[in-house]
Amino acid sequence: MLLAKSLSFLLDDAAHMGDGGRLLLQLSTHLMEDGLPIIAGALAQDAPDPIISRRIWLWRAPSNEVVEALGIGADRQNADPRLVLREWLGTTRAIVFDERAGGVAPTLVWAFDHTPDEAQSELLRQISRFAAAPMTALAERSAKRALLEAYLGKRSAAHVLNGHSRRVKGETIRAALLCADLRGFTDLSEVHDADEIVLVLDAWFDCVAGAVHAFGGEVLKFIGDGVLAIFPIGERDARAACDAAVRAVKATRAGIDHLNQTRRRNGGPEFGYGIGLHVGEILWGNIGTAGRLDFTAIGKAVNLVSRIEGLCKPLGRTVLASTVFEAETTEPMIAMGSHQLRGIAGAQTLFCLPE
C-alpha cells in the first residue's frame, strides 16, 4: 500500500527529529505535499523545566517556519494549543482540527481557512494516531535532557547523554574559573526560617548563575551558598573566556546592587559576596562511588580559585583574580600585592576589579 508522505515520515523519520519544533516543521511540509490545505499548526509537549511546564511550537504556511510560543497566551503553564494557535494567527475564524481535543500533551493541532473534506479529515485522524509513538519518544528524550541540564548544566548533561556515565578518568580541559560565595549566610540562617533562607539563596544564585550562563559559562556546582563556574577554552581562546567571565562578574554586581536596593527598602540586610577568578586546567568528569557519581571538576586550579575568593573579605574586595587571569583579560585590573593562600605553596600576586 502506498502511504501518504506524511504517514511515511511519521513511521520512518519522525522519532529521530531533534525536538518537537523540527518534527512539526517536517510534518507540516509533508502534509502540504499530500495536498492538505493547512494554514498553520501547533505541537504541544510537557516540559519538566524549572520554569515552564509546557512547550508549544507554532508553524505557519506562508513562511514555512516554526517558532516557539513564548509569552503567547494568558496562562502559558496550561495553555490550550488551539487557543494559542488562533491567538497567534490573529483570528478566531480559523477552523481548528484536533483529533484529541483537550487531550494531554504531546498534542498536534491544525488550522484551515475552510473545512477539510472527509478524505482530508481521515488523513489527519491517521496522522494523530501515527504521530503518537514518535511524539512520545521525543517528549521522553526532551524530558531526560531537561532534567539532566537542570541538575548538571548543558555541557555536562551533553557529556552524560553521549554515554560518559562510567567512573573512568575524566577529561582535562582548560578554562577560566569563577568561584563566588555569599557573605553572612550563617548569620542569616540563625535569624530566618528555612523558607526565607531558600528565597535568599535562590535570589543569589539567580544573579550569579544567570550572569554566567548569559556569557557562555556553565555552573558546575552549588556548594552551600557558593558557586563554581567555568568558561571553557577551546571554541574561544583564553582571552575571550576571561573577558566573558569578567562580563559575568559585572552583570552579577548589577544584579546584586538591584537586590540590595530592594532589600534596603524592605528593611532587610544587604547581600555581601566575594568572587575569585583564575585560569587553569581542570579534570572534568565523573567522580564518586560505584553506585553514586558526581559530574564535577577537580584540580589545582579549582583549589586556587577557591582560596582566592576566600581572601576577598580580608582584603575588603568583592572580586579578586590571579596573575594568569589578569594577564589574559583585556579588562583593566588593580594590583593588590602578594599574599599567602591557605594550602597553596608560595605567595600569590592578586589583582582586583575596580569597585
* pLDDT of 292 higher than 80: no
Predicted local confidence at residue 238, as pLDDT: 94
Q: Is 70 exceeded by the pLDDT of residue 290?
A: no
Spatial distance between the Cα atoms of 61 and 149, rounded to a whole number of angstroms: 33
What pLDDT does 14 receive? 86
Mean pLDDT of the chain: 81
pLDDT tens digit sequence for 184-216:
766 666 666 777 777 778 888 889 999 999 999
CA separation, residue 99 to residues 60, 102, 107, 242 (Å): 19, 9, 9, 53
Q: pLDDT per residue over 23-63, tens digit each?
A: 999 999 999 888 888 888 888 887 766 666 678 889 988 88
- Higher-pLDDT residue of 216 and 346 is 216
Q: What is the pLDDT of residue 177?
A: 96
Q: Write 335-343 long-range contacts (CB < 8 A, 24+).
A: 339/311, 339/315, 341/304, 341/307, 341/308, 341/310, 341/311, 342/307, 342/310, 343/303, 343/307
Q: Is 234 exposed, middle or buried (0-12, 13-18, 19+ CB in 10 A)?
A: exposed
pLDDT higher at 345 or 173 = 173
pLDDT above 70 for 77: no
What is the rounded CA–CA span in Å between residue 323 and residue 178? 14
From the list 218, 208, 200, 313, the residue with the least C-alpha distance to 255 is: 208
Q: What is the mean pLDDT of residues 98-112?
A: 65
pLDDT at 334: 93
Alpha carbons 139 and 105: distance in angstroms, whole number: 9
Confidence class for position 336, pLDDT limits 50, 70, 90: very high
Cβ partners under 8 Å of residue 72, min gap 6? 56, 58, 79, 84, 87, 88
Percent of the chain whose predicted confidence (pLDDT) is above 90: 26
Name the residue ranges covered by the structural domains of the chain. Answer: 5-143, 154-352
Contact 35, 60 (CB under 8 A): no
Query: Which fold is adopted by the domain 154-352?
Result: Alpha-Beta Plaits (3.30.70)
Q: pTM above the 0.85 mark?
A: no
Nearest to 59 by CA among 40, 33, 43, 44: 40
Q: Is the pLDDT of residue 296 over 80?
A: no
Per-residue pLDDT tens over the stretch 235-263: 899 999 999 999 999 999 999 998 888 87
The C-alpha torsion from 71 through 74 and 80 to 85, rounded to 10°, is -60
Is the separation of the CB atoms in 97 and 110 below 8 Å? Answer: yes
Q: Which CATH class is domain 5-143?
A: alpha beta
φ, ψ for residue 37, nearest 5 deg: -85, 55
